[in-house]
Structure 1
């Protein structure tokens, strides 16, 4: 498995900034679990308590302007833990930069009761970190603009050959957003069936002349790209729908890419015909299905968007083919399609 990293170097560095918010408070009367109102030294007093983590954060926490209601609603979803993954799981990483973290902890305080005339006295306080992985349903596929910076679902290439670079034909690759990748038991896949999906690549070759044949496919490769958007200014819209030119000066981007799948690619081209005026033009079509599964050596926070941090994923598929202009070697074409990771 190889890992590649990429950051946005045309923006100002984002300085370290911390936002803290208590969104759940539980007042627990200790008398219900500890009959003795006085805690004796060197004795262990067990105080069981339970609480339900809400699925949404308070509406007033997102008070900035949003592009539409969908963005505002997404910003109110409970955020998953992000970063500092090693304190919960051994020898793993969630592909997030150190500058972007979402952490949760339980803060426990023991308060001594005083008379009505005096303020309660805090005897002891401690915090315990917890990992939160909220359930998130799969959202509708994205509507992508052709000029999208992060996704490319259609590519057209003109194939040529010979010293004179005579045109052979046009190769068109297209795809669509695959089914989301579901995590069932935690942020890491548990088996080969879980956390998988299939990407279909549709190909079309329009020969420049009837005698020209479609290229011979050599191999297929697919990579997972984890994109983390973060900053000290709230996001007006979903950051992966726009580009850096629409961002603020204190908003930036980080990505890590891992290889998931590489194998030889053999396809059967289907010869077809279409009527163009009085002529009958020939063309060839084919499709490639690439199945992938997430490696269990990493943790995968689900796709989410919040006011200050977002995580999105993409699958980059690379098809290598025998170039007509080369006796040896091959050329390649790639597509990048969004994919959601969600928790059932």
Structure 2
């Protein structure tokens, strides 16, 4: 073995050889102006910023740069045979980039940084192409063309399963030409944002017995004990309350009030109405998702029996609301229709009508001294209970009610009335009504980073102006000094006053 040293290559040759094995490095970052992690964008909000492209070591040729604002809905159905994954891009806005922002020739030089600005405005409605599947209902079609809110990936739990996601993102792409001259995607960067669009108040739903999600009214028979006869029947009914509106920053929700109508029908005159101990309530968020286009309102009818060729699923989560004190509520006694007839009120009216019409006195029909057999009391008891509803925005992330092509979100307000009979036995009656959640415009006059009023503040000011313009006005005859007078009017008026005197 020879110990002679090997000849070394020149330094320049070593550097050139190393450079041939160093691939060109390119970084692409998206910066959104005045953005922070918990910021919420809404309808007509601006999403502006710039894309920063940094290269190192070598220059990189490119064909074009594309910047988009994308809204995508994704669902996953874990079927028995093959899982079904569906992706639907309902929003795609492309930022036009002038040629002046591109270097000439189109090449990112080594160790340089290139900046490409972008500016988007979140629209109020989607285009007709966003919903292309068959829908037999025009109202549902209009719902599918509204922007859905971001679903999942919030800082707080938003009652969303992993099988359903709705994301908004600013996405930048770099394209280059391949050997065949086609433009292919070489690199991509993305920046997610949270969007809650403005949702106006919808009309109350027409709930029928076929709508299995809701229980608008429920009756229950009451007994003093298990073996004792019935003392009466209590019926609890409720209507859909006004919507709960989320503030523009998403940190608070305006309260709303639901009303319960209680009716107790006693079986005898000795039966007394039960005591209303308390009213507890909770809110259930139901998320519907499907592998194909949904052609109905999923919260109406029976969603579990409406399976088609595409897989469907639902997920629900609940959160309690503080109990309500009913100390001021009291039962009121009211006569039934039969009770009004038995009291002679209707008979006396018919008797007086017959007497005045025929001129002869005949006793009213059924009006005698004999006691009629009574299967129940001729009266019932009624009570109205107002239930305040304050959604806990600090614990959960509530998003507006929406219906889109493959995902939906609705809320159910469950109210449980606890009743106590005279013997100490208690029973409960539960009803569930739809609760709409929307986005309010009352923001308190915010300003953006430029010092100009935000969209929410401008809308609030415009709403106040409209309210002031539409206030009722009092019409009256103006005073005489404000009336236009024709020549000789004063003299004629004075003459008339003198004649009357």
The reply to whether TM is greater than 0.5 is: yes
Is 1:59 aligned to residue 119 of structure 2? no
In the other structure, the counterpart of 1:279 is: 342
Partner of 1:207: 266
Residues 22-45 of structure 1: CA deviation (Å, up to 9, x unaligned):
621112226359999875655555
Aligned position for 2:408: 310
Aligned residues of 2:259 and 2:384 also touching (Cα < 8 A): yes
Mapping for residues 147-158 of structure 1, pairs under 5 Å: 147-158=210-221
* Corresponding residue number in structure 1 for 2:497: none
The aligned runs of 1:118-129 (5 Å cut-off) are 124-129=187-192
- Structure 2 unaligned runs (5+)? 1-77, 344-377, 441-501
- Distance 1:15-1:119 versus aligned 2 partners, 3 A rule: closer
Alignment partner, residue 167 of structure 2: 103
Confirm whether residue 19 of structure 1 aligns to residue 87 of structure 2: yes
Secondary structure of 1:327's aligned partner = coil
Partner of residue 245, structure 1? 305
Aligned to 2:438: 342
List per-residue Cα deviations over 1:96-144 (Å, max 9, x = no partner).
11101111211113457x8xx9556766421111111111111110000
* Deviations, residues 24-79 of structure 1 (Å, cap 9, x unaligned): 11122263599998756555554432111222223133222223111112111112
Q: 2:237 maps to which residue?
A: 174
Change in Cα spacing, 1:251 to 1:20, as seen in structure 2 (3 Å) is closer
Q: How far apart, CA to CA, are the structure 2 residues paired with 1:137 and 1:238?
A: 18
Tell me the matched-pair count: 320
Deviates more, 1:32-41 or 1:134-143: 32-41
Q: Do the aligned partners of 1:75 and 1:305 also contact (CA within 8 Å) in 2? A: yes
Larger radius of gyration: 2
Matches within 5 A, 1:193-272: 194-243=253-302, 244-248=304-308, 250-266=311-327, 267-272=329-334
Q: Is this contact kept in 1: 2:324–2:388, CA < 8 A?
A: no
Q: Would the aligned equivalents of 1:321 and 1:331 in 2 still touch at CA under 8 Å?
A: yes
Which residue does the alignment assign to 1:3? none
SS in 2 for 1:131: strand
SS in 2 for 1:109: strand
Provide the C-alpha distance between the structure 2 equivalents of 1:203 and 1:155, rounded to a whole number of angstroms.
10
Partner of 1:141, secondary structure, is coil
TM, length-normalised to structure 1: 0.84
1:154 Cα offset (Å): 0.9
Q: Give the Cα–Cα distance (whole angstroms) in 2 for the partners of residues 223 and 74 of structure 1.
A: 26
How big is the shift at 1:342? 0.9
In the TM superposition, what whole-angstrom CA distance separates every residue of 1:207-243 from its partner, at most 9, and x where no partner exists? 1111211110111111011001111122121011121
Q: How does 1:24-35 map to 2 (within 5 A)?
A: 24-29=93-98, 31=100
Q: Which moved more, 1:272-281 or 1:297-306?
A: 272-281
RMSD: 2.7
In the other structure, the counterpart of 2:388 is: 291
Q: Which segments of 5 or more consecutive residues in structure 1 lack a partner in the other structure?
A: 1-10
